[in-house]
Amino acid sequence: MSERLFTPPSRRELAAQACALAGVREEVAHLNLRHLLGSARPASPPRDPTLQQVLEEVTTGETFFFRQSAHFHFLTPLLLEFARHGHVRAWSAGCSTGEEAHSLAAWASALVGDHASVEVLGTDIVESRLSIASAGVYGPWSMRNHESCPFSVVERDGAGYRVLPAVRRLTRFLVHNLLEPRPREAGTFDFIFCRNVLIYLTPAAATHAVKNLLSALKPRGVLVFAPVDLVGPPEQLTPLGPPELSCYMRASEAAPATLAIRQPPAHAKAAPSAAPVMQRTSVLARVIERHAEAVSVAEAGRSRGALRLLDELSGEAAGYVPALLERALLRLRLGENGTARELAGGVLARLEHLDADARVDGPVPLSAAYYRAAALALLERAGPKR
C-alpha cells in the first residue's frame, strides 16, 4: 500500500489565489496563466505570510517622490480653495512604499502652512511596503525625479534619505484592499490619488474599486488617476483639466463643479487701468506656448527661472490671467507674500467684469470662477497687508 504524501500548493496556485483576492490580472504575475481572475466581491486583505509574499511579487510597487508632478501643479489652486475650510485631507490609494503619500503631505503643508490642518492617508494591500512607508527611509531610486520636486520632503540620511519629521507627522498608513469599502476610521477626502493601480485590475474589479473610492470622496473632491487607468470618466464625476491628467471632480446638488465665489476683499478691488482678459487669437496661442515652457521650468524646481519667463510674458501680455496667477503662486512659494498678494489682486482686477462661467483661455481653458476662487484663496494664504 503506497503512502499518499501531502503536496503543498504550488507557487502557481498561490499566485492565482492571491490574484483573486487582490482582484489583479493574472498576467501581471508573469506566470503565463491563461485566464484572468479577479472578482469584484470585497475581500479582506490576505494576512497569510505566503500570500503576502506572492502579492508583493504580482502587484506593482513602482513609485517615487512627486511622480507626474504636473498633477500637483495643476491642483494647487484647488488645494488653496479647500484650505479655506480649515483642513485638507488626501488619500494615496495603492500607495506602495509611501512616496506618493509623503509627496502629498509635503505639497499641501508647504502651501497651506498654518492656515489649515493637513492629513494624508496611505493604503496598500502589501504589509511589507507599508512598513517602509511608515519608516520613511528611502534610497536614491525614490529620488530619481528630484529635479521636479518643488517642495521639501526628505533630508539626507547617510547614503539615503529620510522623510522630514514635519511631513511624516501628517501621514499614516493602513493595510487596505481597494475592493473593500474605505476603512471605517478613514473618513472622507478632498483629494484621492489612485495612479497606476487600476490598470492591474480586471475590469469588474476596477469598476468596483472606483465605486469604493467615490464613496470616500467629499462633494467637489477630486479623484486623480494615471492616463492608463481609465477609458472614460467614471459616473458621478466630471473631467477636470486636460485629458492627459485624468483628474475628475465630484459634483453635488449643493455646489456646482466650479469653485465657489466670494466677493474680493476691499484691498483687492479692481484697478481702473486693469488690462482686459486676453481673447483667443494666434498671438494668444504663442503666449500659451511660452506659459507652458515656464511651467516646465517651475516643475523642474527652478522657480526663479520660471518667474523670469512669466514676468517677461506678463510684460508683453498684461491681460493673460493664467501667467499672473502662476506668478502669484510662485511668489507665495518663495515666501514673498506681499508680491503674491499684489499679483492675486491683479487677477481679481482683470476678472471683475467677467461672468462666473466665462472661459479664460490658458494651457487648460478654465472658468473665471476658477481663477477668482484661486486668487481669493491665495490672498488668504498670503495674509493681510502689513
Highest-scoring range by mean pLDDT, 54-68, 117-131, 291-305: 117-131
DSSP 3-state assignment of 111?
helix
Split at pLDDT 50, 70, 90, the class of 299 is low
More confident residue, 197 or 214: 214
Residue 87 has pLDDT above 50, yes or no: yes
pLDDT digits (tens, 9 = 90+) for 131-176: 889 998 888 777 776 555 667 888 888 888 898 999 999 999 999 8
Please report, for the chain, the start and end positions of each structural domain, with discontinuous segments joined by +.
Answer: 11-58, 70-250, 276-382
User: What predicted TM-score, i.e. pTM, was given to this entire model?
Assistant: 0.62
* pLDDT confidence of residue 147: 53
* pLDDT confidence of residue 196: 83
Residue 223 has pLDDT above 60, yes or no: yes
14-18, 193-197, 254-258, 283-287: least confident range: 254-258
Task: Provide the b/e sequence for 134-143 (b: ≥16 CB within 10 Å).
Answer: bebebeeebb
Question: Cβ–Cβ contacts within 10 Å for residue 375, how many?
Answer: 27
Task: Provide the b/e sequence for 334-356 (b: ≥16 CB within 10 Å).
Answer: eebbebbbbbbbbbbbbbeebeb
Dist. CA 190–CA 126, nearest whole Å: 25
CA-to-CA separations, 7 to 4, 10, 11, 13, 14, in angstroms, rounded: 9, 8, 12, 12, 13
Which is it for the CA torsion 277, 280, 283, 286, positive or negative? positive
Dist. CA 94–CA 154, nearest whole Å: 21
Do β-strands 160-163 and 154-157 pair in parallel, antiparallel, or remain unpaired?
antiparallel
Closest CA to 103 of 56, 54, 59, 145: 145
Place of cell 479577479: 38
CATH class of 70-250: alpha beta
* pLDDT confidence of residue 372: 82
* pLDDT confidence of residue 174: 93
What cell numbers appear for 83 in the block?
484650505
CATH of 276-382, one of 1.10.260.40, 1.10.10.10, 1.25.40.10, 3.10.580.10: 1.25.40.10
CA-to-CA separations, 261 to 348, 356, 374, in angstroms, rounded: 11, 8, 10
Residue 261 has pLDDT above 70, yes or no: no
Mean pLDDT on 242-255: 74
pLDDT digits (tens, 9 = 90+) for 328-354: 888 887 888 899 899 989 999 998 888
**Which H or E run includes 378?**
helix 368-382
Mean pLDDT on 118-129: 90
